[in-house]
C-alpha cells in the first residue's frame, strides 16, 4: 500500500514538473472554421494576470555571442551568433558532442547561458523560465504519459493552464486532424506504433500554439522507413503551420531534406550557415564538405604543380586544373593541398564524354555495391581510397584496373593546414553571378 502511494506521489510530481514546461499563452479568440491552423499565425488576445496584450505567436529567434561553459573551462558552445527568421525551418546538424542540443536547450531555457543573449521576438529571455518563453519542445523519447489516452496526453498541458474545456477540445481536434491521429484519440501509448507516438508528441506541441517549435532529434528512435515518412510529415506540417521551427539532428540527410537553412556545428563552433544546396556545392571548409553528402566527399592529399598550366599531383596520377581556378591556387604551387571531389562527379568514360574539363585516371576496384538506381565503386589509387557513384549498367570487377573520369569543374581544394576551402570565394562569386560551377 505504501509503495502504491509513493508511486502515485512520484507520478504526480513528474506530471507537475512536465506541466511547468507547457509554456503556451492562453488564446481567447476563436480560430476561423475554414482554416483551423490560422490561429497559429494570427495575433490573439493573451491573458496576463489582470490585463491583456496583443501578441503574434510566431517570431524570430536571435542568438548573440551565446556560449555555454562547463566547469573546467569546457566550452560546449562557443560564441554562436545566429538569427532564425520568422516562419523559418532551421536545422542544427553535426556529430555527437558538437553542441547542437545544448544550443537548443539554451533556447528552451533548460540550460543556463554562460555568455551572450537570446531573444525570442524582441524579448530578451536569458532569465525567463521555460514555461514563460512561448515555446514547445518535441523530445527524442516522446515523453508521453502511459496511463493517459492520446486525447488526454494532448490536452493535459492545456488543462493545467486552465484553458476552457471547449477550447481544449477544439485545439485537440485541430491537431489530430492535421496529424491524422483522430482515430487514435481513445488509445493509450502502449497501443501505438513508434511513428504514431511521435505524431502524438508533435500534436502536444501544436495544441499549445507556441511562438517557436523546438525538435531535439525526434526521429532517432524510429526505423529507417518511419524516419523517411516522419521527416516528410514534419516538413508538410511546417508548410501548413508556417511556424518558426528549430530542429536538431545528427543525420545530414534529415538536415538536407528538411531545412530552409542549415547550421553545421563542430566542437561547439558554428562551421557554416547556409541553404542546403549552397552548403553542398560550396562548403566553407573540409569538415563541412565531408559531413554534408552521402556518400561523403572524397579527399586526397597532393601538390599543386605548374607546367604551363596548373596541375594537381596525387603521386599516382595528375589532374589538369581549370583555368578559372588558377588565381586562388597559384600561391599554393609546390605546396601540399587537399583535393576533394564528390562520388557523383566521378564517371565511367562511356557516360562522361561531354564534360568540358574531364580528367581520366586509372584505379583498382576493391568493392562493388549495386544500389539499383546506381552503383557504388570503392576504389584505390594505391595511395588513397575513394568512392565513385556510377550509372547502374556500368560493368566492373573486383581487382580490375578501371578507368574513370573526374569532372574537374566540380573539384574542391582545401588548405592542408587550416582546411579552409581555397575556392570558396570564387565559387560563391560565380553563384551570385548566376554561373554554374
What would the mean pLDDT of 302-314 be, rounded to a whole number?
A: 95
Q: In this prediction, what percent of the chain has a pLDDT beyond 70?
A: 84
pLDDT value of residue 27: 28
| pLDDT, tens digit, 9 for 90 and up, residues 376-416 | 999 999 999 999 999 999 999 999 999 999 999 999 999 99
pLDDT at 371: 94
Q: SS3 of 149, please?
A: coil
CA distances from 95 to 27, 272, 419, 432 (A): 39, 14, 18, 30
Lowest mean per-residue pLDDT among 188-197, 262-271, 322-331:
188-197
Higher per-residue pLDDT: 224 or 288:
288
74-92 pLDDT, tens digit per residue, is 999 999 999 999 999 999 9
Average pLDDT of the segment spanning 409-437: 82
pLDDT at residue 263 in the model: 98
Q: For the chain, what percent of residues have pLDDT higher than 90?
A: 66
pLDDT-wise least confident of 340-354, 365-379, 405-419: 340-354
**Per-residue pLDDT averaged across 309-313, rounded?**
96
pLDDT tens-digit map of 273-302: 999 999 999 999 999 999 999 999 999 999
**pLDDT at residue 6, as a whole number:** 45
Backbone angles phi, psi at 144, to 5 degrees: -95, 150
What does the alpha-carbon distance between residue 394 and residue 348 come to, in Å, rounded to a whole number?
7
Of residues 426 and 329, more confidently modeled: 329
**pTM for the full predicted model:** 0.81
Residue 7 has pLDDT above 60, yes or no: no
Q: What is the average pLDDT value for the chain, to the nearest integer?
A: 85
d(Cα 100, Cα 270) in Å, to the nearest integer?
A: 9
Q: Tell me the mean pLDDT in the region 172-192.
A: 91
What domains can you pick out in the chain, each with its CATH number? 61-281 (3.40.50.300), 295-432 (2.40.50.140)
20: pLDDT strictly greater than 70: no
95 band by pLDDT with thresholds 50, 70 and 90? very high
Give residue-wise pLDDT tens across range 43-66.
332 323 323 233 345 589 999 999
Band of pLDDT at residue 430, cut at 50, 70 and 90: low
Dihedral angle, C-alpha 95, 140, 270, 224, nearest 10 °: 50
pLDDT in tens, 131-156: 899 899 888 887 889 999 999 999 99
Report how far residue 130's alpha carbon sits from residue 127's, in angstroms, rounded to the nearest whole number: 9
Query: Helix, strand, coil proportions of the chain in percent (round to 5)?
Result: 30, 30, 35
Res. 177: pLDDT tops 50: yes
* Predicted pLDDT of residue 123: 93
Inter-CA distances, 322 with 209, 310, 353, 410, Å: 53, 8, 17, 10
* Helix/strand number for the chain, H first, E second: 11, 22
d(CA 371, CA 374): 5
Separation CA 247–CA 143 (nearest Å): 17
Q: E strands of 49-177, at which residues?
A: 51-56, 61-70, 74-84, 89-93, 115-120, 123-124, 135-138
Q: What is the pLDDT of residue 241?
A: 86
Report pLDDT for 51: 30
Q: What is the pLDDT of residue 49?
A: 31
Amino acid at each position: 500500500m505504501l509503495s502504491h502511494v509513493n508511486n502515485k506521489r512520484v507520478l504526480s510530481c513528474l506530471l507537475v514538473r512536465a506541466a511547468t514546461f507547457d509554456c503556451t499563452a492562453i488564446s481567447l479568440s476563436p480560430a476561423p472554421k475554414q482554416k483551423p491552423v490560422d490561429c497559429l499565425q494570427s495575433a490573439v488576445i493573451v491573458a496576463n494576470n489582470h490585463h491583456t496584450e496583443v501578441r503574434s505567436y510566431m517570431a524570430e529567434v536571435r542568438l548573440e555571442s551565446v556560449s555555454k561553459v562547463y566547469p573546467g573551462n569546457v566550452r560546449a558552445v562557443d560564441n554562436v551568433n545566429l538569427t532564425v527568421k520568422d516562419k523559418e525551418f532551421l536545422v542544427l546538424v553535426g556529430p555527437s558532442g558538437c553542441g547542437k542540443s545544448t544550443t537548443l536547450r539554451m533556447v528552451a531555457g533548460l540550460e543556463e547561458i554562460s555568455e551572450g543573449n537570446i531573444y525570442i521576438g524582441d524579448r530578451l529571455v536569458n532569465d525567463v523560465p521555460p514555461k514563460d518563453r512561448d515555446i514547445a519542445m518535441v523530445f527524442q523519447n516522446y515523453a508521453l504519459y502511459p496511463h493517459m489516452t492520446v486525447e488526454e496526453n494532448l490536452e493535459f498541458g492545456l488543462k493545467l493552464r486552465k484553458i476552457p474545456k471547449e477550447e481544449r477540445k477544439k485545439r485537440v481536434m485541430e491537431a489530430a486532424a492535421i496529424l491524422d491521429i483522430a482515430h487514435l484519440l481513445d488509445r493509450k501509448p502502449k497501443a501505438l506504433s513508434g511513428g504514431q507516438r511521435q505524431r502524438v508528441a508533435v500534436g502536444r506541441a501544436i495544441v499549445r500554439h507556441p511562438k517557436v517549435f523546438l525538435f531535439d532529434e525526434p526521429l532517432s528512435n524510429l526505423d529507417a522507413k518511419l524516419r523517411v515518412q516522419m521527416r516528410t510529415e514534419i516538413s508538410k506540417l511546417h508548410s501548413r503551420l508556417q511556424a518558426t521551427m528549430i530542429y536538431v539532428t545528427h543525420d545530414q540527410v534529415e538536415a538536407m531534406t528538411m531545412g530552409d537553412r542549415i547550421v553545421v556545428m563542430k566542437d561547439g563552433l558554428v562551421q557554416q550557415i547556409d541553404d542546403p544546396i549552397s552548403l553542398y556545392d560550396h562548403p566553407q571548409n573540409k569538415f563541412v564538405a565531408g559531413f554534408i553528402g552521402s556518400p561523403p566527399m572524397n579527399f586526397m592529399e597532393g601538390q599543386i604543380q605548374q607546367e604551363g598550366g596548373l596541375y594537381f599531383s596525387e603521386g599516382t596520377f595528375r589532374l589538369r586544373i581549370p583555368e578559372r581556378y588558377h588565381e586562388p591556387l597559384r600561391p599554393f604551387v609546390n605546396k601540399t593541398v587537399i583535393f576533394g571531389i564528390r562520388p557523383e562527379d566521378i564517371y565511367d568514360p562511356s557516360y562522361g564524354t561531354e564534360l568540358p574539363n574531364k580528367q581520366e585516371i586509372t584505379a583498382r576496384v576493391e568493392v562493388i555495391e549495386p544500389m539499383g538506381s546506381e552503383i557504388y565503386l570503392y576504389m584505390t589509387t594505391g595511395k588513397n581510397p575513394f568512392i565513385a557513384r556510377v550509372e547502374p549498367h556500368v560493368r566492373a570487377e573486383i581487382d580490375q584496373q578501371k578507368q574513370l573520369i573526374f569532372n574537374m569543374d566540380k573539384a574542391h581544394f582545401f588548405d592542408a593546414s587550416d582546411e579552409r576551402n581555397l575556392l570558396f570565394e570564387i565559387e560563391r562569386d560565380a553563384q551570385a553571378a548566376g554561373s554554374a560551377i
